[in-house]
Structure 1
Amino acid sequence: MNTKAIISLILGSVSLILTFLTPLGFIFAIVGFFIGFLSLREIHKTGQQGRGVAIAGLTCNTLAITIPLIMIIIHLLFLTPTDFRLEIS
């Protein structure tokens, strides 16, 4: 079993939980994504087991990255007050 794949899955799980609590989850997700990517490359080169775990880690980390971005976009589009005034001179 590839150790980097396990670390990526752990970071992905933790970052999914922390995403809703603190911005630290976003940082964990980025680190976990790169570790998951490196683990997939290592698994492909060496033939180790753990490809599914690496893919699961990448999936969790990708979700933990995209969910805050989607929340920010929704907030900016729909929840930000705007004050439009039509001034005719």
Structure 2
Amino acid sequence: MSENVQINSHSIVSLTLGILSIFIPFIGFILGIIGIIMSRKATKEMDKTNQTGRGLAISGLICSLVGIVMQIFIVLGFIAFFLFVRAV
């Protein structure tokens, strides 16, 4: 008599893309944006249906945001490095 609980697949995709956005340079920015979109889509679907996975969606959102911020810092670091090297 166990319930058949379904986990929202978009929340799993969101978490996966969020983790990949942290570890893959330059492409991680795009993966982070897609991860945020998937996280929002998952939370809206979970409000309408009886699926679980809200924690996965929130974790995916946080990882995607961290990945985007890291990618911005990496790009700014490269720009600053090359400007400094060219100035010297």
By the TM > 0.5 criterion, same fold? yes
- State the shift of 1:48 in Å: 1.1
Deviations 1:15-46 (A, max 9, x none): 11103xxx111111111110111101111121
Identical amino acids, percent of aligned pairs: 32
Question: What secondary structure sits across from 1:48 in the alignment?
Answer: coil
Q: So what's the TM-score if we normalise by structure 1?
A: 0.73
Which of residues 8, 20, 24 is equivalent to 1:18?
24
Q: Please tell me whether Structure 1 or Structure 2 has the larger radius of gyration of its CA atoms.
A: 1
User: Which runs of 4 or more aligned residues in structure 1 lie more than 6 Å from their structure 2 counterparts after TM superposition?
Assistant: none
Instruction: List runs of 5+ in structure 1 lacking aligned partners.
Output: 84-89
Equivalent residue, structure 2, for 1:59: 62
Equivalent residue, structure 2, for 1:87: none
Which of residues 42, 47, 50 is equivalent to 1:47?
50
Q: Within 2, Cα distance between the matches of 1:49 and 1:35?
A: 15
- State the shift of 1:63 in Å: 0.5
Matched residue count: 79
Instruction: List runs of 5+ in structure 2 lacking aligned partners.
Output: 1-6
Q: So what's the TM-score if we normalise by structure 2?
A: 0.74
